[in-house]
Amino acid sequence: MFAVIKTGGRQYRVVPDDVLEIGKIAGDVGTIVQLGEVLVVGGDTPVLGTPTVAGATVAAEVLDHKRGPKVIAFKKRRRKNSRRKRGYRDEITVLRITEILTDNAKPSIGPRPKKEKVAAPAAEGDEAPAKKKAPAKKAAAKPAAKKAPAKKAAAKGKSEK
């Protein structure tokens, strides 16, 4: 089963477990969001929307919020000593499609648990010492800098001219 969704002014063909990057949408990392503008639901009997399929949504898990590649807009007018350079980076949300829902169904799949980092087990006889903070470093007193004598010769030479 697949669906064609519209978000951020673009259309995407998605199937469950697809990972796609779309324009930034609201939602914290790890939450499930529902995309409501479904244009087509495909499968054994495809359903075309007019303009959208009634009661169809796509559930997706927010994986990450990031910024896209840098785009440079450089404009130059020849022989006019005129140029302008501007750049920007799009805000992007990375989604994993969890399921395609029809008939006003609610998402049944929750967010996937994150993999935890496994710490190396300590040896039996060794106990991990408590971490101590290093004492604050004191600033060493610096000797006062000697002032250089004023250069009278340079000033003298200028006034004689």
Short-list 42, 41, 23, 48, CA closest to 33: 23
What range does the domain containing 6 cover?
Answer: 2-101
Question: What confidence tens digit (pLDDT) does each residue in 36-92 have?
Answer: 999 999 988 999 999 999 999 999 999 999 999 999 999 999 999 999 999 999 999
- Whether 144 maps to a domain, the answer reads no
Please state whether the predicted TM-score (pTM) of the whole model is above 0.95. Answer: no
Q: Would residue 35 count as lying in a domain?
A: yes
Establish whether the linkage from the previous residue to 51 is cis, with ω within 30° of 0.
yes
Has residue 142 been placed in a domain? no
Number of domain units in the chain: 1
Domain annotation covers residue 13: yes
How are strands ordered across the β-sheet holding 32-35? 19-23, 82-101, 57-77, 32-35
Q: In this structure, what token pair is assigned to residue 116? A: 């935890």
Which of 50, 70, 66, 58 lies closest to 13, judged by CA?
58
Residue 149 lies in a domain: no
In a domain, 49, yes or no: yes
